[in-house]
């Protein structure tokens, strides 16, 4: 099952590394990768690829227009 999107859900470039996991337009998981070991992340991704996840509802995706974006990584 390769229909997953891992969308960056971090508040800032120096905050916790977080991802909303979306399948078919619905959020099924949220991963705070910064707080996970490599083995925990691997296990969670395997579980998700195997069909795991809970339906949290429609994914709400907001993008930031390029002209409004500024962060330390893009300067």
Structure token pair of residue 44? 């969670």
What's the CA angle centered on 22, arms 20 and 24, to 5 degrees? Answer: 165
Distance CA 1, CA 15 (A): 30
> Structural domain tally of the chain?
1
- 18, 27 Cβ separation under 8 angstroms: no
Distance CA 29, CA 33 (A): 12
Domain carrying residue 21: 4-74
pLDDT per residue as tens digits for the range 10-67: 877 777 889 999 999 999 999 999 999 999 999 999 999 999 999 999 988 878 788 8
Q: Under DSSP, is residue 45 helix (H, G, I), strand (E, B) or coil?
A: helix
Q: Give the pTM.
A: 0.77
């Amino acid at each position: 099952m390769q229909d997953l999107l891992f969308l960056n859900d971090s508040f800032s470039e120096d905050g916790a590394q977080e991802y909303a996991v979306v399948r078919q337009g619905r959020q099924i998981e949220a991963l705070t990768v910064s707080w996970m070991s490599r083995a925990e992340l691997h296990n969670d991704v395997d579980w998700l690829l195997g069909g795991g996840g809970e339906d949290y509802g429609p994914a709400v995706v907001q993008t930031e227009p390029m002209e409004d974006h500024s962060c330390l990584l893009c300067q």
